[in-house]
Structure 1
Amino acid sequence: MQNHDHDHGHGMAEDLPRFEALLARRRALKWFAGAGTAALVAGCGGSDGSSSDVTVVSGNTGTTTTTVTPTPTATPTPTATTGCVVDPSETAGPYPGDGTNTSSGSTSNVLTISGIVRSDIRSSFISSTTVATGVLVKLTLTVVNVNATCAPLAGYAVYLWHADREGHYSLYSAPTESYLRGVQVTDANGQVTFTTIFPPAYDGRWPHYHFEVFSTLTNATGGKYAVLTSQLCMPEALCNTIFADTTTYPSAKSIFSKVSLSTDNVFGDNTAAQIAQQTPTFTGSVAAGYSATAVIGIAT
């Protein structure tokens, strides 16, 4: 039989030093446990994302070592989309006049023709001087870098084009005209301004402007390397106001009553944030004309 006498049967004089040693040991363990817990709290609450190990000592009768590794702070994805989103790529339309498609067997690249760089795009400038009529709009576009907290992009070229008040495109369904097309280069604020007219509704389409963005004027006037092709949609309430004048816009009112933004074959699948950015803000009146502004988001 195993002898347990070494655990029992001693006198007080012999046991007292052992009791004092045990008490001291328990006090030490309690202190270490408190210090370990404080270290754990500091490790989890830190903002530097450190993965340093923290050792916690716990228990009254012995030591248990637990290694805790705080979860590192995740590195944020550099989207930087404060106040802007990337504009979606959209179709260039029936005839962008940028050398990418053909009408009646011929291809036109208006971007390579002298005179295309202009702010007022209401007049034809190739073989005609016809001025497109309609409600005046001064449209300011701000081109920004979505990946750099919406910082303005200077030196970019924007090509703007759209239909006339009857729904015709120059160089296409109005083949002898070259109006309502032009290029401008963004300034230090990333802005370009065009003087034009309000676009109409035509069969199957919500009223809109077309645009292409190029990283340089050289690329734009070479007619290639666009970084974005997209469109801007007009506000519904303003369309109803402007198209009420059936003398200026003879067919737009009846056509507009049959279209909707949600079923439009370009804008219908866009997000609410994209539509909000693609819709210019207008101020002014039919009689005096309107000033409009919109942001174009590019991911560079």
Structure 2
Amino acid sequence: MDKRKFLKNGFLGLGAIAVIPSVISSCSRDENEEGEAEVIAPPVNGQSCQVSPVEMVGPFPIKTPAQLAQSNIIGDRTGVPLLMKITIQDQSNGCLPLAGVLVDVWQCDKDGNYSQYGGNQLQATNYNSQNFLRGRQTTDSKGEVSFISVFPGWYPGRAPHIHVEVLTAGGASLLVTQIAFPVTAYSTVYASNGYNGAPDRSNTQDSLFSDSLSRNMADSVTGNISDGYTLSKVITVS
């Protein structure tokens, strides 16, 4: 119940948020092309500790990340509330949590558009002067950061995703990656009011996720349309 109240407050009362709920631990499920569910287990420190997939920054990276040090990245966007909880761990140190590093996130809105860009062939709608759905946080002693957002939409040629970059405190990039969503979660959201229906690329059809989907996949996505969703993901850097 606390999680539900938090997500609703995060969406309806942006200035009143002061606490982050605990992670709900569960395995995420994705569907393969035959419709069977695939269980994606979260990484365990010291076991199966692989560096997270390196993915392209994409055409819409954050232009001014140092100016966007914020945990609430919704801005003026609408959509199903989403709480992102990301943990960074260090492969070179037994996959222990990595404190004091920067985590940048950016994503499209429910209509598939990015802030800081637009008015061109890549994105017709011009949002050059806006900074919604972009943010930066510094990991705590547990290697954790949290962001309050909305469930992203999709745009042609890509499955639903969140962009993440991990950097040292001095700004040197350690890893650029992307987080994928379980089919069951995004299908439910995209069938609700305000979203654009099923994406034109599934997770298995996405060119970036096709060779590393199980490691790109969120460790868990829990919740519902009314109360919002919580996404948890462990990202491993070297």
Tell whether 2:103 aligns with 1:151: no
Q: 1:121 aligns with which of 59, 65, 73?
A: 73
**SS state of the match for residue 242, structure 1?**
helix
CA distance in 2, matches of 1:261, 1:279: 12
Tell whether 2:232 aligns with 1:293: yes
Please tell me whether the aligned partners of residues 137 and 292 of structure 1 are also in contact (alpha carbons under 8 angstroms).
yes
Bigger relative contact order, structure 1 or 2 (CA pairs below 8 A, ≥6 apart): 2
Amino acid at match of 2:100: G
Q: 2:137 aligns with which of 184, 207, 229?
A: 184
What is the CA distance between 1:176 and its match in structure 2? Answer: 2.5
Tell whether 2:190 aligns with 1:243: yes
- Matched with 1:76 is none
CA distance in 1, matches of 2:205, 2:187: 18
- Matched with 1:204 is 157
- Matched with 1:106 is none
Coordinate RMSD, CA, aligned: 1.6
**SS state of the match for residue 186, structure 2?**
helix
CA distance in 2, matches of 1:141, 1:112: 19
Instruction: State TM-score, norm by structure 1.
Output: 0.59
Please tell me whether the aligned partners of residues 140 and 193 of structure 1 are also in contact (alpha carbons under 8 angstroms).
yes
Amino acid at match of 2:210: G
Instruction: State TM-score, norm by structure 2.
Output: 0.74
What is the CA distance between 1:271 and its match in structure 2? Answer: 5.9
What is the CA distance between 1:170 and its match in structure 2? Answer: 0.2
Please tell me whether the aligned partners of residues 180 and 213 of structure 2 are also in contact (alpha carbons under 8 angstroms).
no
Amino acid at match of 2:134: R
Structure 2 gaps, min length 5: 1-44, 119-126
What is the CA distance between 1:199 and its match in structure 2? Answer: 1.0
CA distance in 2, matches of 1:283, 1:177: 29
Which ranges of 4 or more aligned residues in structure 1 deviate by more than 3 Å?
none
Please tell me whether the aligned partners of residues 83 and 150 of structure 1 are also in contact (alpha carbons under 8 angstroms).
no
- Matched with 2:208 is 266
Tell whether 2:79 aligns with 1:138: no
- Matched with 1:111 is 65
Identity, in percent, stands at 32
Q: 1:92 aligns with which of 57, 79, 84?
A: 57
What is the CA distance between 1:94 and its match in structure 2? Answer: 1.3
